[in-house]
Structure 1
Amino acid sequence: MRKNWIAIIVLLGLIGWGVYDYMTKADVNPITAGESATEDDSVPIGLKVGNRAPDFTLYNLDGNEVKLSDYRGKTVLLNFWASWCPPCRLEMPHMEKFYAKYADKDAVVLAVNMTHLEEGKEHVKSFLKDLGLTFPHALDETGRITDQYQVIAYPTTYVLNAKGVITQRFQGAIDYNIMKEAYSKAVK
């Protein structure tokens, strides 16, 4: 009986800590966390629908810089994923199909690998190659961007309009039809 009470107390403590951790991260203002408002200052930077997504700079597998703001003027599906994540694997062919069909309509998929949760970059490289993924990717090797974007479910996708404003957020895998609908909403 005593072991059950200890387990319950530990579980409640973990849940409490998780809620506290999530709530304190939600209060972080990206401008004071090192980001700057470079465009329309009337649109606040943040993670809610209607906010301009916080800018970041990461690197891809080739060592080239990938900056979110370089995609301004395009609708962006900003996808956070990992190679070991089964829903991510299911979603990626849909992402590739969307990218292939909508690239000429100023849309892009930017896939941010949560490299800090991987066993190594070689897993990322083989995942991209095995699935024939051609859209831009970036490596979050420290987890800083994953934390900044409050990614708690894998995959997570933010949809940004051409001004970099968040129009939708999805936790969990989405398919091609949902991507098409999200694109239509973002370009309105």
Structure 2
Amino acid sequence: MIKKVIAAVVLVSLLTVAIVQAIDKKTEAPQTSSEVSAAAKEGLSIGAKAPDFELKTLSGDTVKLSDLKGKKVMLNFWATWCPPCKAEMPEMEQFSKQIGDDTVILAVNIDPQLDVKGFVNENKITFPVLLDTEDKVNETYQIISIPTTYFIDSNGIIQNKYTGSMKLDIMKKYTQELK
């Protein structure tokens, strides 16, 4: 009988501690507006100017986004270990063969410490693969999940964003909507 009473007291005590801690969390000081807005953001917003960046390709060439002004840009963030990224690569390659000179695909790799060159060769990728070695572009574009693709118009404005593995028809649709 005493064991049951002790067990009940311990259980009630633990429950009381849990409730008090839950109430304390609710009454903590509110976050600043910048903390709230930073937490609420899920990437850059449509209609915003695409932040400029400069990255090296696998072959060592430098690509600067602002140098592509006047062209439509499909800016894709991906990693070699990401199954949805791997799934969309063949369709991105197919799309790269169908686009005209006014459209560019840039695939920003966020895990350059891995064998990106091997992945590109194995999958016969011919569009530019950029290496974000310092993770700066990934952070600037506020990438939360991959793959994430931004569609940037010829004036450098983000017109659309797609998160997840894209099919060819989506790539065509979003780039056709760019001016």
1:151 aligns with 2:143: yes
Aligned to 2:133: 141
Letter in 1 for 2:174: A
Matched, 1:48 2:62: no
Q: Give deviations 1:86-133, integer Å, cap 9, x for gaps.
A: 00000111111111101x251111000003xx5x24x11111111111
The 5-angstrom pairing of residues 74-85 of structure 1 reads 74-85=71-82
Does the aligned pair in 2 maintain the 1:75–1:160 contact within 8 Å?
yes
Task: State whether residues 82 and 154 of structure 1, in contact with CA within 8 Å, keep that contact through their aligned partners in structure 2.
Answer: yes
Q: Once superposed, which parts of structure 1, at least 4 consecutive aligned residues long, lie more than 2 Å away?
A: 20-27
1:24 — aligned with what? 38
1:140: how far off?
Answer: 0.5
Structure 2 unmatched runs, 5+: 1-10, 26-33
Q: Residue 178 of structure 1: CA displacement? A: 0.3
* Residue 49 (structure 1) shift: 1.1
Q: In the alignment, is residue 111 of structure 1 matched against residue 125 of structure 2?
A: no
**Corresponding residue of 2:117:** 125
Post-superposition offset of 1:85: 0.2
- TM-score when normalising by structure 1: 0.72
Q: TM-score, normalising length from structure 2?
A: 0.76
Larger Rg: 2
User: Identity, % of aligned pairs?
Assistant: 41
CA distance in 2, matches of 1:107, 1:58: 18
Letter of the 2:71 partner, please give it.
K
Shift of 1:22: 8.0
Asked whether the equivalents of residues 25 and 150 of structure 1 are also in contact (C-alpha less than 8 Å), the reply is no
Q: Secondary structure at 2:55's aligned position in 1?
A: strand
2:94 to 94, 97, 107: 97
Residues 59 and 79 from structure 1, CA distance in 2 versus in 1: closer, same or farther, beyond 3 angstroms? same
Shift of 1:21: 6.7
Q: Structure 1, residues 108-162: CA drift from partner, whole Å, max 9, x if none?
A: 11000003xx5x24x1111111111100121111111101101001100000111
Aligned counterparts of 1:105 and 1:65: Cα–Cα separation in 2: 19
Query: Which segments of 5 or more consecutive residues in structure 1 lack a partner in the other structure?
Result: 13-19, 28-45
Q: Size of the alignment, in residue pairs?
A: 154
Structure 2 residue 61 is matched with structure 1 residue 64? yes
